[in-house]
Amino acid sequence: MEKDALELTKKLISCPSITPEEKGCNRVLIEALGHSFTTRLINRGSTTNLWATSGHGTPFFLFAGHVDVVPPGENGWIFPPFEPTIKDGKLYGRGTQDMKTSVACFTVAATRFVSEHPECGTIGMLITSDEEGDGKDGTVFAVEQLSKEGMKPDCCIVGEPSCNSVLGDTIKNGRRGSLNGFLIVKGIQGHVAYPDKVVNPIHKVVPFLDDLVNTEWDDGTEAFPPTSFQISNIHAGTRAVNVVPGECKITFNFRFNTLHNHKQLEKFVEALCKKHHLKYQLRWQESANPFKTEGTKLSEALLAAIEKTCGITPKFSTSGGTSDARFISKWCPDVIEFGPTNQAIHKVNECIDVKQISLLVSVYYETLKNIFKKAK
């Protein structure tokens, strides 16, 4: 399985699939799945979603992932980012960690398992090309369509890079919620030399932002880290040194645990705007709700597979950013993220230790064995 997974990973990396384009990844995967899986595309806009299934009945196990990647970025790549290259035991290329390796590994594990256990139940795969984008034409749309058709998996592994130092050290069994705010603070534009004739929106917004930045939202919970607030962008001005701007635009984000919800945070911020007498426009983007999976058949099956394959006991974690698991969790509550180490994701010279590939295939394969063995 190791050789097959490595070669499949290389083929996927060779496809320059910058979101939302798959650039040939689906053809590669359909060929790798062979006759054991029935495949079809669920597309919208520029996004291509591959749906593949094998078998019938229960349990219904799902692998989910994405083949789109972020742009390579600035110069500094040792090797061309879409020409997979092995050096000193590492495979270089955009998508090696996030997350073409996982897609290759669970494809190889699933096809082998199906060939050895043809009457096991149902195994599905959902692969999108829009995870690095807003996801609305990707997993969100695909799940909507599959739900209408009566498809409902019992459990799902999303192959996001979950581990910190070594393969197997971390399972992501939940994520915090995410809320984006887009604030425009209005002022009165004018000459800097006449402060009595202007209203500087930057000056107005600074005390407001100071309040937000210094607010302690909570201490976290046993399962989740503390809620956090971060400013991601501030823009104001005409680029002239002698003009007070007429408005200031601020983009910010909350990552929140189960002690809060979208509406509570939105209400707090809007009350703070009024407290500081801001003239403002505020738009919200509710990106994700917090979710957590614990003590399920999947978590037990994956834990046992990691201990057997990697020789370590993983920690469960809800830290980090969002993934398509936030959409799948509404459809399939027993969802977990597990994949390779993540120290190089989205970076120049993204790479993965080649040894992780064989281990990851085995972890996925052993998890399938544990899930379907319990079902007998």
Q: Domain 177-288 carries which CATH code?
A: 3.30.70.360
Q: Would you place residue 20 in the very low, low, confident or very high pLDDT band (cuts 50, 70, 90)?
A: very high
Q: Would you place residue 224 in the very low, low, confident or very high pLDDT band (cuts 50, 70, 90)?
A: very high
What is residue 376's predicted lDDT score, i.e. its pLDDT?
Answer: 56
Dihedral-angle region of residue 322 (phi above 0 means left; psi in -120 to 50 means alpha; beta otherwise): beta
Q: Give yes or no: 160 in active site.
A: no
Are the C-beta atoms of 334 and 61 separated by less than 8 Å?
no
Name the residue among 137, 97, 131, 141 with its Cα closest to residue 325.
Answer: 131
Catalytic member of 4, 22, 98, 131: 131
Q: Average pLDDT in the 248-268 region? A: 97
Q: Would you place residue 250 in the very low, low, confident or very high pLDDT band (cuts 50, 70, 90)?
A: very high
Is pLDDT of 374 > 80? Answer: no
What is residue 10's predicted lDDT score, i.e. its pLDDT?
Answer: 98
Name the residue among 11, 16, 214 with its Cα closest to residue 129.
Answer: 16
Residues spanned by CATH 3.30.70.360 within the chain?
Answer: 177-288
- At the topology level, CATH places domain 2-175+290-375 in Aminopeptidase (3.40.630)
Per residue in 75-99, pLDDT (tens digit) is 899 999 999 999 999 999 999 999 9
Helix axes 262-275, 201-213, angle to 10 degrees: 130
Residues spanned by CATH 3.40.630.10 within the chain?
Answer: 2-175+290-375
What's the pTM value of the predicted model, to 2 decimals? 0.88
Q: Average pLDDT in the 240-248 region? A: 97
Q: Average pLDDT in the 146-151 region? A: 96
Catalytic member of 4, 21, 22, 68: 68
Is pLDDT of 262 > 90? Answer: yes
Q: Average pLDDT in the 244-267 region? A: 97
Q: Give yes or no: 68 in active site.
A: yes
Q: Supply the mean pLDDT for the chain.
A: 95
